[in-house]
Amino acid sequence: MLSGMGPLLCLLSAAGFGAMSIFGKFAYDAGVTPSALLLVRFTMAALLLAGLLAIRPAARPGTRTVITALALGALGFATQATLYFEALRVMDASLLSLILYTYPLMVTAAAVLLRRERMTRSRALALGIASAGTLLVLLGAGAGTLSPAGAALGFGSALTYTVYILVSDRVLHRVSPMLLATLVMTGAALALAGKSLVTGGVNLGFSAAGWFWTACIAVVSTVLASLTFFAGLRRTGPSTAAILSTVEPVITTTLAAVLLGEFLTPAQLAGGALVLASVAVVQLRPRRPVVPVVPSRSTVDSR
């Protein structure tokens, strides 16, 4: 039963992360800067998760595990988010997303090379279908000007997220998803707070609307999305979790059509259908060969 919940948890996580771009657009319109958004997002998420952890305490992990989890936030999640938003300043979102969503392929290849998982037929087929679907969804939004600097930042973001997923998968064998998420967000908040002190601080004097949309990012697209991702990752493994996460751009595009009045092109609709098909394919299990039962000698003699 628990293992069957893994794909659903990954899909719920993708929905939360997929809404982040929409919340972010509304936050930017309300005067929130990228640096302020990241700092408030992770600080608020860390405080919320610490409160939840106080209500439902978890077993204390070892010092090495705590340091690794904090580093996942400071060097992993915070770095990935910073690279992504810096790239977003110099290139179109569709092209950047196209670069970022090379990470499912990276995660799957690394998991196979590290002998953590096997490249089954269903997994390979799902990865190919998901990649093709993501390509159609993002290219259907139109192509923009490619910035070499933005492309480098985008690939850096994808590579960082790949390492983040693979390391998180290992840490989850020693801690609960709740505790890991709390430590990761704390590490990210501390890293971004340190950066803001070095760079002269961030402007937090934006409107109430800006705080509302930033809170939506913290609660929906960080706390809930991270908790469900870690819980799903623990049950499915890194490659399956990464493949299921390709639903995220489909959700983003659909929300943009509903909330921002953007229309879906035929290519995007076809791409979305392919991504959804990959969700079903990745859950296929190879059929076990039927082994004929040969009656034992004693059974034959008794007849």
161 CB-contact burial (10 Å; exposed 0-12 / middle 13-18 / buried 19+): buried
Domain assignments of the chain as residue spans, ordered by start? 2-283
Q: What share of the chain is helix, strand, coil (3-state, %, to 5)?
A: 75, 0, 25
Instruction: Give the whole-angstrom CA distance, residue 165 versus residue 150.
Output: 22
Closest CA to 130 of 254, 270, 244: 244
Token code pair at residue 52: 């939840």
Contact 187, 70 (CB under 8 A): yes
Instruction: Give the whole-angstrom CA distance, residue 155 versus residue 73.
Output: 19
**Which runs of E-coded beta strand occur in the chain?**
none
Tens of pLDDT, residue by residue, the chain (303 residues): 345 788 899 999 999 998 888 888 889 889 998 889 999 999 999 999 999 999 988 888 889 999 999 999 999 999 998 898 788 777 766 667 767 877 888 888 888 888 887 777 777 787 787 777 777 766 665 555 557 888 889 889 989 999 999 999 999 988 999 999 999 999 999 999 999 999 888 889 999 999 999 999 999 999 999 999 999 999 988 888 888 888 887 787 778 777 867 666 777 677 767 766 766 665 555 444 444 444 544 444 444
Closest CA to 225 of 11, 5, 4: 11
Token code pair at residue 27: 């936050």
Alpha helices per DSSP H over 58-120: 63-71, 78-88, 93-100, 103-113
